[in-house]
Structure 1
């Protein structure tokens, strides 16, 4: 799906094309966003801004996605866009833009902010597999490679079972925020043929080797992606593993 097998994980309101370009050599992929693409998620994003969180709130979110991906068309890494949605049509529009740029559409089933969950987006999708699979299928129908960003340690959610469901719906990858349960990456990798990206606490060789030993196909870096110098040790460890 991408190489080198280091991704930059989206940081709300920060992860744009310029952020991705700063790490274009140490990383093989960068997930921009998260981008709220429909009315309910945009209203939730405005509420998040009102309590001092950073959010992308362009006038036209799909045009914003197109512009950001166009800025990365000639870069070394593969772009992706983390999208938050409740309706299928805006998601399809964003997926079609991703397909045009050979970029990955990442369905956000990860955001745990109360405002986003209240409208039925983000982490709430983990508890509603049917709706999550509908979003995956809608994005896949537009020809975009589809990743699903998920979170471990959500009550009542068995990630390996959920991963199998999104795989059947047409997903190509699952991006697992392992929280404090890193072995869940092994369980997901064993349950599916999805491309598994492991996230959370990836800082250097020890973390990289642990996740890859569990069966992850790649790792991703979140907050440290603000500093390209902190991504390079991760890249070096991934390169060493795959030699």
Structure 2
């Protein structure tokens, strides 16, 4: 899906085209965003900003997505955009933008901030399988490459079953924040044929090896994604531990 099988994970308000370019020497993909698309999600993002969190709040979020992807058109990295919405229509529009710019669309079913959950964004989608399925189906129907960012350790959520649901709906990948339950990667990998990106605590050879042993197809780096020393160390580990995936996918990006 991308080579090398190392991704930069989205950081709200920080993960833009410049950030992606800075990491392109080490990573095969960069997930920009997240960005709030519809009115309710944007209002929640404003509340997050009011309590000193970083958020992208451009006047026109779809134009922002498009301009950021244009800025990466000649970059040696696979672009993707992490998006939040309470309704499917803006996700469909974002999917079309991503499709036309050869980027992946990542639906955010991950963020757990109270403001976002209160309007039905982020983590709440994990507990609302019919709505998440609709989001994935409609986005995938545009012809875009679609995936979902999910979180482990959410009470009452069966991630392997959810992986099968989103695969049936047309998703190509799942990006799993394993939290402190790293073995969930094995459960998700065994449950579906989705491309599995493992996230959380990826810093060195030991963490890459653990996720590789659990069956991850790729790993992603979050907070240290702007630290070249960490990225270099993780890239070396990825080449060692996920080398077969690297060789298999070589030349596909």
The 5 Å alignment of 1:37-76 reads 37-76=37-76
Which residue does the alignment assign to 2:232?
A: 232
Which residue does the alignment assign to 1:100?
A: 100
**Deviation digits for residues 95-116 of structure 1 (CA, Å, limit 9, x no counterpart):** 0000011100000000000010
1:88 Cα shift? 1.2
1:226 Cα shift? 1.6
Q: Give secondary structure in 2 for the equivalent of 1:156.
A: coil
**Deviation digits for residues 60-90 of structure 1 (CA, Å, limit 9, x no counterpart):** 0000000000111111110000000111111
Which residue does the alignment assign to 2:150?
A: 150
Which residue does the alignment assign to 1:139?
A: 139
Structure 1: where are the runs of 5+ without partners? none
Which residue does the alignment assign to 2:248?
A: none
Which residue does the alignment assign to 2:249?
A: none
Which residue does the alignment assign to 2:80?
A: 80
Which residue does the alignment assign to 1:163?
A: 163
Which residue does the alignment assign to 1:214?
A: 214
Q: Distance in 2 between matches of 1:194 and 1:217?
A: 9
Q: Distance in 1 between matches of 2:69 and 2:229?
A: 24
Count matched residues: 243
Structure 2: where are the runs of 5+ without partners? 245-253
**Deviation digits for residues 151-208 of structure 1 (CA, Å, limit 9, x no counterpart):** 0000000100000000000000000000000000000000000000000000011100
**Deviation digits for residues 6-38 of structure 1 (CA, Å, limit 9, x no counterpart):** 000001110000001001110000000000010
1:229 Cα shift? 2.1
Q: Distance in 1 between matches of 2:228 and 2:101?
A: 24
1:240 Cα shift? 1.2
Q: Distance in 1 between matches of 2:14 and 2:229?
A: 18
Q: Residue 23 in 1 paired to residue 23 in 2? A: yes
Q: Distance in 2 between matches of 1:109 and 1:228?
A: 28
